[in-house]
Amino acid sequence: MSKKEIISLIILMLVVGYGAWQYFHSSFTQTKSQHLMDTIVRITATSKDKNVGARIDSVFAYIKHLEDKINDYSEDSWLWKVNNSDQTSFDMDPDIYNLLVIADSLHKMTAGAFDPTIKPVYDLWGFGSKPHAKLDSLTTAVPDSTILAKTLENVGFDKIKYDARHLYKPKGVQLAFGAIAKGYILDNARDYMKTLGITSGNIDCRSSMTFFGTNLPQQVYIQHPMLSQDDYIASFKIKNSSVGTSGNYQQFFELDGVRYHHILNPFTGYPVPSVYSCTVIHPSAAWADGLSTALFLLPPEQAIELARSIKDCDAVIYFDQNGSTVSLKTMGMKKIGFSEKL
């Protein structure tokens, strides 16, 4: 073989080798959005399969399946049927059981402030399935105190009993998992994405987010609770974790200069005063989601101490103090490039 032929062969081998390397290391990334869970859900996914868009569509269908089961306002859902049944004993659904276990833990952590049986009071205030943008202060009013007190009689997580196979719920007591459901669905959808060969990605539905499989931190913004939706009060960077935010701006109405929002104290039936928003970072989207509401329900100082006691948990809480917006945060927020503009 001549020298020229040897050089040509080497070049050919290099070209084939580079082509093979590109083939085995190539990836495709796509972002798609759908309206699910009463919000816009945006999924970004990276896969070696160029048909990654079809896989994202499969994830949307998976999310819709879980939403249909957990949606307490859909007459076709498991939860609606249980809430509106005259029966008191039910065969347990696995997803409902998982949600009850998380809710039970949050209920105990907060001495009852987090309570998934708040639904009758929630509905009395006119929140729930009605988007906050459609709430009209001219037609929305603070509930009558007598009716509110009567409705509170059906609130209390200790009224229900459950295990992995059965649920006992007195008639009139209703369950809702709005404070956990998005995060729970995101956790399951993220795991489902991995089974589809998606190597990295994120799911963003504004108040709940989860990220996985990336070496690059992602910038996350916390919406300003008292300004427009496009304004932010703080930002930080996150890598392969989850974020949950609860705020007094997500569902509310204003009457006589007072904002009445959807995060209700289960002991009084009234919105939690003075707190504006709470953002939690946790490996589990369900726990980030649930904790953001649970901490919102507590006095800020007590809430941040609770956050500090939870493994792999960081949080920031915004609230009113003598007419000014102030914050409390865990020490871990400094490690992720946290900055705020108060």
Find the mean pLDDT for residues 15-34.
66
Alpha-carbon span 192 to 76, nearest angstrom: 24
Q: What is the pLDDT of residue 227?
A: 80
CA dihedral 67, 69, 73, 75 (to 10 degrees): 130
Between β-strands 242-247 and 208-212, what pairing exists: parallel, antiparallel or unpaired?
A: antiparallel
**Chain position carrying tokens 């196979």:** 165
User: In this model, does residue 14 exceed pLDDT 70?
Assistant: no
Per this entry, what is the length of the chain?
342
Q: What is the pLDDT of residue 11?
A: 52
Q: What is the pLDDT of residue 133?
A: 42
Q: What is the pLDDT of residue 5?
A: 52
pLDDT for 212-267, tens place per residue?
999 999 999 999 988 876 799 999 999 999 999 999 998 898 888 899 999 999 99
DSSP single-letter state for residue 336:
G
pLDDT for 65-97, tens place per residue?
999 999 999 999 999 999 999 999 999 999 999
User: In this model, does residue 140 exceed pLDDT 90?
Assistant: no
Close Cβ partners of 52 (under 8 Å, ≥ 6 residues apart): 28, 29, 30, 45, 46, 198
pTM attached to this predicted model:
0.90
Q: What is the pLDDT of residue 157?
A: 98
Q: What is the DSSP string of 35-89?
A: EETTEEEEEEEEESSTTHHHHHHHHHHHHHHHHHHH-TT-TTSHHHHHHT-S-SE
Smallest Cα–Cα separation from 23: which of 54, 52, 45, 48?
48
Q: What is the pLDDT of residue 97?
A: 98
DSSP single-letter state for residue 328:
E
Evaluate whether 323 touches 339 at the Cβ level (below 8 Å): no
Give bridge partners of residue 41 from the DSSP assignment: 34
User: In this model, does residue 306 exceed pLDDT 50?
Assistant: yes
Find the mean pLDDT for residues 313-324.
97
Smallest Cα–Cα separation from 303: which of 285, 282, 319?
319
Alpha-carbon span 251 to 260, nearest angstrom: 9
User: In this model, does residue 132 exceed pLDDT 80?
Assistant: no
Evaluate whether 47 touches 196 at the Cβ level (below 8 Å): yes
pLDDT for 143-157, tens place per residue?
999 999 999 999 999
Instruction: Kindly report which listed range (140-144, 273-277, 308-312, 319-323) carries the lowest average pLDDT score.
Output: 140-144
Phi, psi angle pair for 135, to nearest 5°: -70, 125
Find the mean pLDDT for residues 29-34.
97
